[in-house]
Chains A and B, each alone.
Chain A
Amino acid sequence: MAAPLGTGALTEDTGQEKQDTQKEKTVPPERAEEAKLKAKYPNLGQKPGGSDFLRKRLQKGQKYFDSGDYNMAKAKVKNKQLPSAGPDKNLVTGDHIPTPQDLPQRKSSLVTSKLAG
């Protein structure tokens, strides 16, 4: 970055095009993106934006545990390991029954913030 500094003039940033200049000038970029998404996920809900996201937002932090399911699963697979959580431990999906080992460690930050270092 060898450009001289301190010229006193701020660059006017007007280079943002509203339309995708590469192709499809007739199709708004949002619609083109929507088509891309629907091609990838054909079963995506008809309701645009909408309730799915809101429900997910409202359910943030919810961790369900059913002790009945847990004990039955334990009884069924006495010798085997229970299927463990995937990389995202916050999502309980499919046959996975949360085990105590799956719960993320909840501990408070006893460490001082690095901003104060």
Chain B
Amino acid sequence: VAGFGSLMQDVLWCFSQVKGTIDIGVTEADIISTVEFNHTGELLATGDKGGRVVIFQREQESKNQPHRRGEYNVYSTFQSHEPEFDYLKSLEIEEKINKIRWLPQQNAAYFLLSTNDKTVKLWKVSERDKRPEGYNLKDEDGRLRDPSMITMLRVPVLRPMDLMVEATPRRVFANAHTYHINSISVNSDYETYMSADDLRINLWNFEITNQSFNIVDIKPANMEELTEVITAAEFHPHHCNTFVYSSSKGTIRLCDMRTAALCDRHAKFFEEPEDPSNRSFFSEIISSISDVKFSHSGRYIMTRDYLTVKVWDLNMENRPIETYQVHDYLRSKLCSLYENDCIFDKFECVWNGSDSVIMTGSYNNFFRMFDRNTKRDVTLEASRENSKPRAILKPRKVCVGGKRRKDEISVDSLDFSKKILHTAWHPSENIIAVAATNNLYIFQDKVN
């Protein structure tokens, strides 16, 4: 693919676009809660706390300016979920979109799954560029014509109209989760998908909304004995019988649906042995995995916990093959991060298209990339100050002690309210989408 450099030193990241407004106070509903490219990278979807989905489409590359990459413009926007109240359980259900996952495209329409804490919905996004005209029983304004006045019959014809993009909810998968949904994942068979909550994982068929199969249940008989919860889950990209789920104790289980209907017994169990001398009150909290992602190749899984990103080889369960420090300087700030709840922030992580670079977010609107081959890493910032078109992003550096150099920022100056939890990487090109609270940044590599 032209312009696709897999080594980080070849890539200069440039600002491309930013979506959203610069408000003094951020309206909570505008906080972006999920970002996802579709399988071709043509579409980019975001979900927010207000239950809304916005889909951007990449414009066709212009023949006049072949070097200018296509920009993403609004394609469709709709209200996916509404706030609800479960009166039976006295439970307030937020409309926040936790995850969006695209289905591979099989016809002219696009399909995506969006979920809040309790309900998954399948949305169809389709274009309409023709409309029928020349009805017999109604005129062009839609008013009914008096049948007795009609003397001739005509055949309605399809005429072109301005492009309209409509989103319709095709399926609603409700009432299957007692606890809060954290993940959805489309199976490679394209017929089924899974939804995972804190204690259970359910398998659905896209066509059937009134039933789902429970495939994992870790709820203890006595809730007093609860020691861990499910934090994320994903299907293997190629093997439709295999999936993984991560836990709040820093472990990952790989399950094979062929072995049993209920996959409570894992096929593989991934856990890194803990150094007992390092154990503290915080150990379990910071080991909780907030995201798990298969590599595109299906050979590796990547996990994110509070301070690190780890890459695991599916063939080695006893420790990760790679560990990357995201912001280790926070280790000496854990007390205050616990008091302000930041220690519970759930960061996501993503692979690039060739699985050679991984990316995850941090605080102060910083995000980090790690090149797995060269072991080089970089810290970049999503900020309005660096938002001139095609401006190259300057690497950032956090000073951990001693003398702070001119361009560095000290740990105590970091803004912990500016957290980058959600990022996405185009499936084949060096284009990334970074959600910074209520703004969406799009960065691309510099085309020489």
- A115 CB to closest chain B CB (Å) equals 4
Stretch touching chain A among B105-113, B133-141, B146-154, B222-230: B222-230
- B55 CB to closest chain A CB (Å) equals 9
A44–B284 Cα distance when bound, in Å, is 15
Measured between beta carbons, the chain A residues less than 8 angstroms from B9 are: 8-10
Q: Which of A34, A37, A53, A61 has the most CB of B within 10 A?
A: A61
Measured between beta carbons, the chain A residues less than 8 angstroms from B316 are: none
Measured between beta carbons, the chain A residues less than 8 angstroms from B329 are: 16-17
Chain B CB within 8 A of A58 CB: yes
Task: Report whether B280 and A113 are in contact in the complex, using a CB–CB cutoff of 8 Å.
Answer: no
Contact of B283 among A9, A48, A115 (CB under 8 A): A48
Known interface pairs A8-B12, A63-B92; A58-B54 also in contact (CB < 8 Å): no
Task: Report whether B12 and A13 are in contact in the complex, using a CB–CB cutoff of 8 Å.
Answer: no
- A85 CB to closest chain B CB (Å) equals 15
Chain B CB within 8 A of A117 CB: yes
A108–B277 Cα distance when bound, in Å, is 50
Measured between beta carbons, the chain B residues less than 8 angstroms from A65 are: 90
A113–B30 Cα distance when bound, in Å, is 7
- A87 CB to closest chain B CB (Å) equals 15
Task: Report whether B281 and A48 are in contact in the complex, using a CB–CB cutoff of 8 Å.
Answer: yes
Task: Report whether B48 and A113 are in contact in the complex, using a CB–CB cutoff of 8 Å.
Answer: yes
Known interface pairs A16-B329, A33-B333, A116-B74; A61-B117 also in contact (CB < 8 Å): yes
Task: Report whether B85 and A33 are in contact in the complex, using a CB–CB cutoff of 8 Å.
Answer: no
Count of CB-CB pairs between chains A and B under 8 Å: 183
Task: Report whether B282 and A49 are in contact in the complex, using a CB–CB cutoff of 8 Å.
Answer: yes
- B187 CB to closest chain A CB (Å) equals 27
* Interface 0/1 of B40-80, CB less than 8 Å to A: 00000010101110100000000000000000001001010
A60–B182 Cα distance when bound, in Å, is 13
Interfacial residues of chain A within 30-59, with CB under 8 A of chain B in the complex: 30-34, 36-38, 40, 44, 48-51, 53-55, 57-58
Known interface pairs A49-B283, A63-B90, A113-B50; A30-B331 also in contact (CB < 8 Å): yes
A65–B91 Cα distance when bound, in Å, is 11
Task: Report whether A20 and B332 are in contact in the complex, using a CB–CB cutoff of 8 Å.
Answer: yes
Known interface pairs A9-B9, A22-B401, A58-B198; A1-B228 also in contact (CB < 8 Å): no
- B243 CB to closest chain A CB (Å) equals 22
Known interface pairs A30-B334, A32-B332, A58-B229; A108-B82 also in contact (CB < 8 Å): yes
Measured between beta carbons, the chain A residues less than 8 angstroms from B407 are: 1, 3
Contact of B394 among A5, A13, A34, A49 (CB under 8 A): A5
- B121 CB to closest chain A CB (Å) equals 15
- B154 CB to closest chain A CB (Å) equals 39
Measured between beta carbons, the chain A residues less than 8 angstroms from B328 are: 16-18
* Interface 0/1 of A9-28, CB less than 8 Å to B: 11111011110111000001
* Interface 0/1 of B310-352, CB less than 8 Å to A: 0000000000000001011101111100110000100000000
A53–B402 Cα distance when bound, in Å, is 36
Chain A CB within 8 A of B365 CB: no
A34–B328 Cα distance when bound, in Å, is 16
Task: Report whether A13 and B378 are in contact in the complex, using a CB–CB cutoff of 8 Å.
Answer: yes
Chain A CB within 8 A of B132 CB: no
Measured between beta carbons, the chain B residues less than 8 angstroms from A116 are: 54, 74, 77
Known interface pairs A13-B397, A44-B281, A61-B92; A29-B332 also in contact (CB < 8 Å): yes
Chain A CB within 8 A of B179 CB: yes
Task: Report whether B379 and A28 are in contact in the complex, using a CB–CB cutoff of 8 Å.
Answer: no
Known interface pairs A13-B395, A108-B83; A113-B401 also in contact (CB < 8 Å): no
A114–B9 Cα distance when bound, in Å, is 35
Chain B CB within 8 A of A71 CB: no
Contact of A33 among B77, B89, B199, B335 (CB under 8 A): B335
Task: Report whether A112 and B378 are in contact in the complex, using a CB–CB cutoff of 8 Å.
Answer: no
CB-nearest residue of chain A relative to B224? A51
Measured between beta carbons, the chain A residues less than 8 angstroms from B54 are: 113, 115-116
Task: Report whether B21 and A10 are in contact in the complex, using a CB–CB cutoff of 8 Å.
Answer: no
CB-nearest residue of chain A relative to B13? A10
* Interface 0/1 of B266-307, CB less than 8 Å to A: 000000000001111111110010000000000000000000
A50–B377 Cα distance when bound, in Å, is 33
| 6 more A-B residue pairs beyond the given contacts A31-B278, A34-B280, A64-B90, with a C-beta to C-beta distance below 8 A | A15-B397, A16-B400, A30-B334, A58-B198, A63-B92, A113-B54
Would you mind naming 7 contact pairs between A and B with Cβ atoms under 8 Å apart?
A15-B398, A37-B335, A40-B335, A40-B339, A58-B179, A58-B198, A115-B32
The interface of chain B, by Cβ under 8 A from chain A, is: 8-9, 12, 19-21, 29-30, 32, 46, 48, 50-52, 54, 74, 77, 79, 82-83, 85, 89-95, 117, 179-180, 198-199, 224, 226-229, 248, 277-285, 288, 325, 327-329, 331-335, 338-339, 344, 376-379, 391-392, 394-395, 397-402, 407, 438, 440
